[in-house]
């Protein structure tokens, strides 16, 4: 997981192609990110990319939330929320925004559906492959658990027990619960660092 906090190379400043660890083969990269507002007043969150070749051309690029937020539970206890965002690019002339193939899954702690300014979230970013691209990368991804298609709506078959997929190194896949725990750990470490700076 990359620490991508609040700088001019962060998630809301750079195009996903320019972020470390991102690829176009369906594999995901994870980032810590600090939530900030888009403007000095109001509650609108910053999701527009402003420091990239894409935003200085004829297009505006920004993340848009899609679908409903999903509550995440750990052993029956609610821990936080998951949101799905898709990258869109729109013309300055006001044309209809075009959906890009980049998807972000954002996780935050707490009982409130809306994430709080100044707190950490964990973001999973991946390039959503089209059907004809899956075959091309299939040999490389045979042993990797990738949920590059979770943002699409496909018919679902009920299963008695969902199998736990594994990474190439045979370690368990990072579940939503583990991502939230990493977010919680990062927030505690950041708070401890602030306390140390105040006391010294």
pLDDT, one tens digit per residue, over 143-177 is 443 443 333 443 444 444 444 434 444 444 456 77
Report the pLDDT value the prediction gives residue 97, as an integer from 0 to 100: 78
What is the average per-residue pLDDT within 2-21?
70
Q: Whole-angstrom Cα distance, residue 50 to residue 54?
A: 8
Q: Does residue 71 have a pLDDT over 70?
A: yes
Task: Determine the Cα angle at 179 with ends 81 and 85, to 5°.
Answer: 50
- Beta strands 28-34 and 2-3 are parallel
Q: Which domains can be identified in the chain, with CATH numbers?
A: 2-150+166-199 (2.170.150.80)
d(CA 172, CA 22): 21
The whole-number pLDDT of residue 147 equals 42
Average the pLDDT over 184-190 and give the result.
70
Q: Residue 117 has what pLDDT?
A: 82
Residue 118's pLDDT is: 83
């Amino acid at each position: 997981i990359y620490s991508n906090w609040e700088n001019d190379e962060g998630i809301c400043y750079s195009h996903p192609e320019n972020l470390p660890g991102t690829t176009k083969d369906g594999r995901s990269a994870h980032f810590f990110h600090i939530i900030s507002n888009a403007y000095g007043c109001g509650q609108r969150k910053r999701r527009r990319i402003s420091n990239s070749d894409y935003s200085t051309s004829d297009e505006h690029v920004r993340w848009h939330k899609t679908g409903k937020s999903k509550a995440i539970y750990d052993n029956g206890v609610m821990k936080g929320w998951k949101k799905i965002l898709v990258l869109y690019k729109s013309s300055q002339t006001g044309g209809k925004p075009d959906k890009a193939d980049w998807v972000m899954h954002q996780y935050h702690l707490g009982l409130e559906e809306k994430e709080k300014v100044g707190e950490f979230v964990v973001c999973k970013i991946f390039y959503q492959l089209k059907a004809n691209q899956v075959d091309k990368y299939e040999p490389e991804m045979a042993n990797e658990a990738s949920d590059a298609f979770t943002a699409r709506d496909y018919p679902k078959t009920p299963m008695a027990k969902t199998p736990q997929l594994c990474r190439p190194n045979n370690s368990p896949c990072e579940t939503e619960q583990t991502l939230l725990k990493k977010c919680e750990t990062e927030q505690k470490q950041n708070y401890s660092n602030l306390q140390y700076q105040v006391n010294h």
